[in-house]
């Protein structure tokens, strides 16, 4: 593959993956400058290691894997400011103004937040990025049986987290009712 | 909860969907970023034009040999896999691209295999993949189309040069280096590795103040040092670990002593080497050196490479 062919193939891959990668990152990084840095670093890694990237359908999950590792660095506190990301940061700042918090049942959000980082990422890769088991294996660098097992456990823990949240809310509601019943006239809940 | 209900519940938590992103992440920004990236030098694993011209001269022996089989164009156009600093390791269900460490691709793949699967690999064989890369796979598997057996080793000096320049302990990422300091450091690393006939060139990206990236090209024997960053955060975990490893590296230690010291430093920072979520990884290479060198690279996780005496 000569330089022109390499560049042409990279550009095709870049244009196909630009929106999905921007989506992947902005769903996980609220700050537009930080998100732009992660996107830029991800595509720069793809440029530097293009010969290592798998062809065809495996490319997208492979790039998500790169983005995931870049993001992990970013969350660990590595902060670089590159000129590459400036234009994209300006774009994503507009996105930040337009985004509204999704209308979801609080218990779902609480249960999701209660999961480990690994469980959340696994479920998000399926639900938000639409990855299949095979693609997850590529993105996470593990075997398909391991993906199935981890997904099964993550779903089970998510269901358990929702059940626990429901129980706590029911208990809290019941406790509040009981306190209202036993509160005598002239006393406040704070004094009971 | 059914599988579909679980995913549907999670789906509704996404703060932004791809359509919203597409409305703002438009063509102008996309093309600006693309132009910035493709203006970066082509990595050494791919033949640059000047390198192909050189190959047609210094690689004459190869070209003549293959010319007899009618593939001279291939010989000139394809990079020498000996100069790659990574390899493809065909681990079942988990094909991996790993950094070359020892120069022996079979040994490096075997180590990765054991790390991932917890068992020794079967007999492995290395191939030149025909595209300038090295592939290692079980000897029982048929040779991939277009490949040929890869004998010998990858370029260890080049592997170590990459490690030394990317290094957070004493390399270009150890602090924010201006252009003269980065060039001086690069020349010193080249001299340490016996690469005396190499030259150093520089390029600064707009707005950048730290020369923190290097692109060695074995074809032209040139290292391009790039000013790419405008800020380096000394409070990041990577930099804190590097400062601690710098103290370890300042003392003469055996490989086991240095490994234990790195593990302590990483553990103190709460970093995990658990295979399920690797935050740092140590690779040890036994050498005849008197003291252990410590290199720290960052890319998805923290990779520490130790080269030193067994102790």
Spatial distance between the Cα atoms of B50 and A74, rounded to a whole number of angstroms: 36
Instruction: Give strand pairing partners of B199.
Output: B222
Q: Label residue A186 by pLDDT band (50, 70, 90).
A: very low
What sections of chain B are H helices per DSSP?
3-11, 18-24, 27-38, 49-58, 60-67, 72-77, 105-117, 156-166, 179-192, 237-249, 255-268
pLDDT of residue B296: 94
Residue A181 pLDDT exceeds 50:
no
3-class secondary-structure state, position B223: strand
Q: How many CB pairs under 8 A join A and B?
A: 221
- Residue range B225-271, pLDDT digits in tens: 988 766 667 777 888 999 999 999 999 999 999 999 999 999 998 88
Residue B122 pLDDT exceeds 90:
yes
Q: Label residue A66 by pLDDT band (50, 70, 90).
A: confident
Contact A88 B33 (CB under 8 A): yes
Chain A residues in contact with B301 (beta carbon < 8 A): 69, 72-73
Chain A residues in contact with B26 (beta carbon < 8 A): 91
Concatenated DSSP letters for B229-240? ES-B-TTSHHHH
pLDDT of residue B76: 25
Across the range A35-62, mean pLDDT stands at 86
Of B138, B61, B140, B112, the closest CA to residue B303 belongs to B112
pLDDT of residue A44: 87
Chain B residues in contact with A31 (beta carbon < 8 A): none
pLDDT of residue B94: 62
Q: Label residue A76 by pLDDT band (50, 70, 90).
A: low
Which of B46, B80, B100, B296 is most worth mutating to test chain A (most A CB atoms within 10 A of its CB)? Answer: B46
Residue A176 pLDDT exceeds 60:
no
Choose the most confident range, by mean pLDDT, from A83-97, A164-178, B155-169: B155-169
Across the range B3-31, mean pLDDT stands at 80
Residue B101 pLDDT exceeds 60:
yes
Spatial CB neighbours of B153, under 8 Å, sequence gap ≥ 6: B82, B103, B104, B105
Q: Which of these ranges, A127-131, B119-123, B204-208, has the smallest mean pLDDT?
A: B204-208
Contact B232 A70 (CB under 8 A): no
pLDDT of residue B99: 80
B300 contacts chain A (CB < 8 A): yes
Contact A91 B49 (CB under 8 A): no
Spatial distance between the Cα atoms of B165 and B151, rounded to a whole number of angstroms: 28
Query: What is the ipTM for the molecules in this complex?
Result: 0.78
A96 contacts chain B (CB < 8 A): no
Q: Which residue has the higher pLDDT, B191 or B233?
A: B191
Residue A165 pLDDT exceeds 60:
yes
Q: Which residue has the higher pLDDT, B258 or B113?
A: B258
pLDDT of residue B64: 22
- Write a three-state SS string for B60-115: HHHHHHHHCCCCHHHHHHCCCHHHCCEEEECCCCCCEEEECCCCCHHHHHHHHHHH
pLDDT of residue B125: 96
Q: Label residue A57 by pLDDT band (50, 70, 90).
A: confident
Q: What percent of chain B has pLDDT over 90?
A: 40
B45 contacts chain A (CB < 8 A): yes
Residue B28 pLDDT exceeds 80:
no
Sheet containing B199-204, strands listed edge to edge, beginning at the edge strand earlier in sequence: B199-204, B222-229, B210-217
pLDDT of residue B30: 84
- Residue range B202-232, pLDDT digits in tens: 988 777 888 988 888 888 899 989 887 666 6
pLDDT of residue A97: 61
B220 contacts chain A (CB < 8 A): no
B232 contacts chain A (CB < 8 A): yes
Q: Which residue has the higher pLDDT, A22 or B31?
A: A22
Across the range A97-124, mean pLDDT stands at 77
Contact A1 B131 (CB under 8 A): yes
B207 contacts chain A (CB < 8 A): yes
Across the range B130-154, mean pLDDT stands at 87
Contact A78 B298 (CB under 8 A): yes
Which of B7, B48, B135, B209 is most worth mutating to test chain A (most A CB atoms within 10 A of its CB)? Answer: B7
Chain B residues in contact with A48 (beta carbon < 8 A): 40, 43
Output the pTM of the full model: 0.55
Choose the most confident range, by mean pLDDT, from A88-97, B126-135, B188-197: B188-197
């Amino acid at each position: 593959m000569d330089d022109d062919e390499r560049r042409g193939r990279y550009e095709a891959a870049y244009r196909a993956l630009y929106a999905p990668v921007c989506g992947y990152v902005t769903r996980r990084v609220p700050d537009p400058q930080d998100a732009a840095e992660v996107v830029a670093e991800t595509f720069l890694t793809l440029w530097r290691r293009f010969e290592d990237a798998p062809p065809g359908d495996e490319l997208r999950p492979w790039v998500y894997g790169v983005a995931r590792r870049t993001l992990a660095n970013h969350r660990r506190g590595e902060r670089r400011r590159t000129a590459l990301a400036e234009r994209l940061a300006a774009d994503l700042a507009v996105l930040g103004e337009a985004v509204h918090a999704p209308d979801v049942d609080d218990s779902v959000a609480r249960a999701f937040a209660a999961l480990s980082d690994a469980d959340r990422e696994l479920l998000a890769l399926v639900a938000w990025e639409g990855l299949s088991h095979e693609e997850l294996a590529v993105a996470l660098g593990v075997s398909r049986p391991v993906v199935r097992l981890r997904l099964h456990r993550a779903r089970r823990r998510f269901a358990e987290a929702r059940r626990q949240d429901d129980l706590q809310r029911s208990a809290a509601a019941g406790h509040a009712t009981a306190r209202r019943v036993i509160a005598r006239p002239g006393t406040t809940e704070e004094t009971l | 909860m059914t599988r579909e209900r679980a995913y549907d519940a999670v789906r509704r938590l996404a703060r932004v969907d791809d359509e919203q992103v597409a409305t703002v992440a438009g063509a102008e920004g996309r093309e600006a970023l693309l132009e910035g990236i493709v203006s970066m030098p082509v990595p050494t694993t791919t033949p640059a034009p000047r390198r192909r011209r050189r190959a047609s001269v210094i690689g004459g022996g190869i070209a003549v040999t293959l010319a007899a089989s009618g593939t001279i164009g291939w010989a000139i156009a394809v990079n020498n896999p000996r100069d790659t600093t990574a390899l493809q390791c065909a681990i079942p269900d988990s094909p991996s691209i790993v950094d070359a460490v020892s120069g022996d691709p079979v040994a490096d793949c075997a180590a990765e295999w054991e790390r991932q699967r917890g068992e020794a690999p079967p007999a492995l064989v290395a191939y030149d993949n025909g595209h300038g890369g090295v592939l290692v796979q079980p000897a029982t598997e048929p040779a991939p189309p277009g490949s040929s057996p890869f004998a010998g080793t990858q370029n260890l000096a080049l592997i170590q040069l990459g490690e030394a320049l990317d290094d957070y302990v004493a390399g270009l990422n150890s602090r924010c280096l201006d252009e003269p300091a980065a060039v001086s450091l690069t020349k010193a690393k080249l001299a340490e590795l016996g690469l005396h006939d190499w030259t150093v060139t520089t390029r600064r990206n707009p707005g950048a103040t730290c020369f923190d990236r290097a692109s060695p090209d074995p074809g032209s024997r040139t290292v391009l040092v790039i000013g790419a960053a405008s800020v380096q955060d000394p409070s990041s975990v990577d930099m804190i670990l590097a400062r601690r490893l710098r103290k370890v590296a300042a003392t003469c230690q055996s490989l086991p002593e240095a490994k234990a010291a790195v593990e302590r430093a990483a553990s103190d920072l709460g970093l995990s080497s658990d295979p399920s979520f690797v935050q740092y990884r140590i690779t040890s290479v036994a050498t005849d050196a008197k003291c252990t060198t410590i290199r720290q690279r960052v890319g998805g996780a923290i990779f520490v490479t130790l080269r030193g005496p067994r102790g």
